[in-house]
Chain A
Amino acid sequence: DTEVTQTPKHLVMGMTNKKSLKCEQHMGHRAMYWYKQKAKKPPELMFVYSYEKLSINESVPSRFSPECPNSSLLNLHLHALQPEDSALYLCASSQPLTTGWGTIQYFGAGTRLSVL
């Protein structure tokens, strides 16, 4: 099973709302990622968790708050978003590289977020 499951698939929220995106994987991967993808653009890295600890924060605004409650789950809490935050939010997971080369990232289908 190489599946990364993201919920919800679609989300519409106002600028004053608080919502959360959820990501789940059962591949035993210990690295999990959040990406933001605008139309016709590549994914942009937002956050990386390694062994449930935040390892990389790409200077993301504090209105995005990640959380990794356990090794299978990754959440992204959203608060006071702006219309320009509307995008496809992708979650990915991989096994941290200890030997060899190249680690495969497995992506979920994403959550399509619209901020009104």
Chain B
Amino acid sequence: QQQVKQSPQSLIVQKGGIPIINCAYENTAFDYFPWYQQFPGKGPALLIAIRPDVSEKKEGRFTISFNKSAKQFSLHIMDSQPGDSATYFCAASKRGSTLGRLYFGRGTQLTVWP
């Protein structure tokens, strides 16, 4: 059973567009929500992360919006560039998890056309 649900599965935008990737969870024990970016032939790399006492976090062109009551969070990429074309995974880990075990969404393959 997928503990973190991610949509859409794939996304195509023009350069400069604002792709939005959505994730949802049910387990209220989750208290850390990272996003990983993976390029072909590479391992995932942490992009940005948020905790549930914050509703929004920005790092450069990447923004996470978090809705604790709805148990949803999303990634927005401002002024998207062809170099942002990659697979994006949302994830969650549980309060008190000393090993930070990650529960991944299924991933979104983003293509940004020049």
Evaluate contact between A107 and B51: CB separation under 8 angstroms.
Answer: no
B109 at the interface (CB under 8 A from A): yes
Residue of A31, A45, A90, A101 with most partner-chain B CB within 10 A? A101
B29 at the interface (CB under 8 A from A): no
A105 at the interface (CB under 8 A from B): yes
Q: Which residues of B contact A (CB under 8 A)?
A: 31-32, 34, 36, 41-46, 49, 51, 87, 89, 93, 95, 97-102, 104-107, 109
B47 CB → nearest A CB, Å: 11
Contact residues, A41-77 vs B (CB, 8 A): 41-43, 45, 48, 50, 55-56
A106 CB → nearest B CB, Å: 8
Shortest 6 CB-CB contacts between residues of A and residues of B = A107-B43, A103-B100, A42-B104, A102-B32, A96-B98, A97-B98
A-B pair count, CB < 8 Å, reads 71
CA distance A4 to B45 in the complex (A): 11
Kindly list chain B residues whose C-beta atoms are within 8 Å of the C-beta of A105.
Answer: 46, 100, 102
Q: Nearest B residue to A92 by beta-carbon distance?
A: B43
Q: Interface SS of chain A: helix, strand, loop or mixed?
A: loop
13 contacts between A and B (CB under 8 A): A4-B43, A31-B99, A41-B107, A42-B104, A42-B107, A56-B101, A90-B44, A97-B100, A101-B51, A104-B49, A105-B100, A106-B46, A107-B43
Question: Known: A56-B99, A101-B51. Contact between A107 and B32, CB under 8 A?
Answer: no
Q: Which residues of A contact B (CB under 8 A)?
A: 4, 31, 40-43, 45, 48, 50, 55-56, 90, 92, 94, 96-98, 101-110
Residue of B42, B43, B104 with most partner-chain A CB within 10 A? B43
A97 CB → nearest B CB, Å: 5
CA distance A108 to B43 in the complex (A): 5
Q: A40-B107, A92-B43, A109-B43 are in contact. List 18 more A-B contacts (CB 8 A).
A: A42-B106, A56-B101, A90-B43, A90-B44, A94-B100, A97-B97, A98-B98, A102-B32, A102-B34, A102-B49, A102-B93, A103-B93, A103-B99, A104-B49, A105-B100, A106-B46, A108-B43, A110-B42
